[in-house]
Structure 1
Amino acid sequence: MSDRAERKRTSTEPLERLVGRADASPPPMRRPAAVSMGAVLVVLRVLGGAIWLLLLGTNWRTVIAEELDVTTVDADTLNASLAFIVVPGIVVLVVELVLAWLIFLGVNWARILVMIFATLSISGSFVTWWVGDQELHLDFTLVTLSLDILVMLALSSRAARAYARRPRLKRPPR
């Protein structure tokens, strides 16, 4: 029998495999490159978001003047409106950083959550482009879009899925 045929799963699981031995520990599994790259890409996405927030903060007065066509804005209003965008942005970036670490450790729900966020980001970019509100530029739009696509490719791979869903040793109670 070939190696590929031995690895192929059957439609039903044998009883011995389902019941298994309670004292058998799962074999150790090396972290696949797809998981490591997925975590690195999420960190790069966080760095891109931090740079975007920094650039937005430094150019906020110009952004407000161009978008709202207002020449004079009170400084307190300007700072409050900037904080309304930057503070949630920082929270999201910190959450994404924590998710990147959990992905690196092999936590399945973190992998799935990041893939959902990437899907929503990709879909949002497409919809805004389709409606005509946003042009895709090389500055940040295409960079973040390509990072989201690469995150999806890395974290949806078979190796990443197998690593995140691997059996783990149960820790004894303290």
Structure 2
Amino acid sequence: MSDARKRSSTEPLERLVGRADAAEPPMKRPAAVTMGAVLVVLRVLGGAIWLLALGANWRTVLADELDVVTVDADTLNASLAIIVVPGAVILLVELVLAWLIFLGVNWARILVMIFATLSISGSFAAWWAGDQELHLDFTLVTLALDILVMLALSSRAARAYARRPRRGAA
């Protein structure tokens, strides 16, 4: 019986053993990787828009959500900075991760998938607890982007591209 997966006994030795100077042919970047990086950038843009909207409406947010009526300007700015500065740093890190994903770095792909999983799970938990409603204005868009990032970056093509052999790698 002949199994198509078995190697032929007449294969050349160089192919079986592999030559040290023979490099793997370059792998074309799959569309899933490109779309995954683009979706992460869109997620960053959405986060930046959210931070700008939060900054513009911070006094209203404090009054409505926390029932704070009178706040001096220094406290207002300090409380806003506590949220905006870490948020901006996270967005910058996500932007760098998007670039690394585009280049085919596997750990960046996995890290972004972990963040997307946590974001999706957090949105579900908040919805389940009744603390958050899913609205089309922002929540549903970011949730959809996270799901699309997961689908793009978890594809076989994205995995193969991120784990491909590279020149100079031992």
TM over 0.5: yes
Q: Cα deviation per residue 1:121-164 (whole Å; 9 max; x = unaligned)? A: 00000000000000000011000000000000000000000000
Q: 1:61 — aligned with what?
A: 59
CA-based RMSD of the aligned residues comes to: 2.1
Matched, 1:45 2:13: no
* Correspondences of 1:5-154 after superposition (within 5 Å): 19-154=17-152
Structure 2 length normalisation: TM-score?
0.90
Q: Are residues 135 and 18 of structure 1, via their aligned partners in 2, closer, same or farther at CA, if it must alter by over 3 Å?
A: farther
- In the alignment, the residues of structure 2 paired with residue 21 and residue 37 of structure 1 have an alpha-carbon distance, to the nearest angstrom, of 35
Pairwise CA distance, 1:9: 9.7
- In the alignment, the residues of structure 1 paired with residue 162 and residue 27 of structure 2 have an alpha-carbon distance, to the nearest angstrom, of 10
Specify every segment of 5 or more residues in structure 2 that has no aligned partner in the other structure, as ranges: 8-13
- In the alignment, the residues of structure 1 paired with residue 155 and residue 54 of structure 2 have an alpha-carbon distance, to the nearest angstrom, of 35
Structure 1 length normalisation: TM-score?
0.88
- In the alignment, the residues of structure 2 paired with residue 67 and residue 92 of structure 1 have an alpha-carbon distance, to the nearest angstrom, of 24
User: Aligned AA for 1:96?
Assistant: E
User: Aligned AA for 1:22?
Assistant: A
Percent identity over the alignment is 84
Q: Are residues 18 and 88 of structure 1, via their aligned partners in 2, closer, same or farther at CA, if it must alter by over 3 Å?
A: farther
User: Aligned AA for 1:37?
Assistant: M
Pairwise CA distance, 1:20: 2.4
- In the alignment, the residues of structure 1 paired with residue 6 and residue 31 of structure 2 have an alpha-carbon distance, to the nearest angstrom, of 24
User: Aligned AA for 2:37?
Assistant: A
User: Structure 1 residue runs of 4+, over 6 Å off?
Assistant: none
Pairwise CA distance, 1:83: 0.1
Aligned residues: 162
- In the alignment, the residues of structure 1 paired with residue 15 and residue 63 of structure 2 have an alpha-carbon distance, to the nearest angstrom, of 66
- In the alignment, the residues of structure 2 paired with residue 18 and residue 103 of structure 1 have an alpha-carbon distance, to the nearest angstrom, of 32
- In the alignment, the residues of structure 2 paired with residue 57 and residue 49 of structure 1 have an alpha-carbon distance, to the nearest angstrom, of 12
- In the alignment, the residues of structure 2 paired with residue 43 and residue 19 of structure 1 have an alpha-carbon distance, to the nearest angstrom, of 42
Q: 1:13 — aligned with what?
A: none
- In the alignment, the residues of structure 1 paired with residue 6 and residue 151 of structure 2 have an alpha-carbon distance, to the nearest angstrom, of 24
Specify every segment of 5 or more residues in structure 1 that has no aligned partner in the other structure, as ranges: 11-15
- In the alignment, the residues of structure 1 paired with residue 113 and residue 68 of structure 2 have an alpha-carbon distance, to the nearest angstrom, of 39
SS of match in other structure, 2:133: coil
